[in-house]
Amino acid sequence: MLGKILAVLVGSLLLGIGVNGFLVPHHLLDGGMIGLGLIIHYFYGWPTGLTIIILSIPLYLLAWFLERKYFFHSLHGLMVSSLFIDLFAPAEKGLDLGVLPSAIIGGVLVGCGIGLMLRHETSTGGTDLLAQLINKFVSVNVGVLIFAIDGLVILSGLKVIGMEKFSYSLLTIICVGLMTSLCVIKREQLI
């Protein structure tokens, strides 16, 4: 239980820093619910974390009926990570490394945060939860599923962020997908 609590706290911290310190200053997108939350944040100015919670409600209803274990294991991850994303919102004015390093570092931090939570059988909810539910029925790596969903999300944000930011956002989701996949690899697979 302590490992799960630490995974949620550290993973949420990584998400909050990655999103606000590196993605938001350059109007980059991640995929999934975070990406949808960012699209709405850029377009309407709504808090990203709160938007993620609202958008995740239908997936949580689905999880309630299909796999309650995922519902219970990811509810706290959703709440804590959304809180950290909104708490770290002032960080968007603090770091300015340029768009390329920000896309990479932001993707690495977000991917590590998501992967850490998934490794401890929890998640941020949203499309991570959807990927876990899909993984129950098809034998595809959760990181690969998240990458596919992420691609669709940033494609939907193309008009909001433009082609240049879209290209950097693709790099971000590649980093997120790679880091998530690396973090969820079981120790036995490494030996």
Say which amino acid occupies 191. I
Q: Which residue has the higher pLDDT, 149 or 178?
A: 178
Quick one: pLDDT at residue 93? 72
Say which amino acid occupies 110. V
CA distance 55 to 33: 7
Q: Helices 142-156 and 126-135: crossing angle, nearest 10°? A: 140
Q: Identify the domain containing residue 109 by its residue range.
A: 2-190
pLDDT category of residue 165 using cuts at 50, 70 and 90: very high
Q: Helices 99-119 and 158-184: crossing angle, nearest 10°? A: 50
Give the number of other CB atoms < 10 A from CB of residue 53: 20
**pTM as predicted:** 0.85
Whether 119 and 7 have beta carbons less than 8 Å apart is answered as yes
Which pLDDT tens digit goes with each residue over 131-142? 777 887 888 887
How confident is the model over 118-122, as a mean pLDDT?
82
Phi-psi region of 47 (alpha: psi -120 to 50; beta: other; left: phi over 0): beta
Q: Which residue has the higher pLDDT, 70 or 166?
A: 166
pLDDT category of residue 160 using cuts at 50, 70 and 90: confident
Average pLDDT, the chain: 86
* Tally of domains in the chain: 1
Tell me what percent of the residues of the chain surpass a pLDDT of 90: 40
Cα 158 off chain centre by? 18
Whether 122 and 77 have beta carbons less than 8 Å apart is answered as yes
Q: Which residue has the higher pLDDT, 91 or 173?
A: 173
Phi-psi region of 126 (alpha: psi -120 to 50; beta: other; left: phi over 0): left
97: three-class secondary structure by DSSP: coil
pLDDT category of residue 189 using cuts at 50, 70 and 90: low
Quick one: pLDDT at residue 80? 92
Quick one: pLDDT at residue 188? 43
Instruction: State phi, psi for 30 to the nearest 5 degrees.
Output: -100, 180
pLDDT category of residue 187 using cuts at 50, 70 and 90: very low
Say which amino acid occupies 141. N
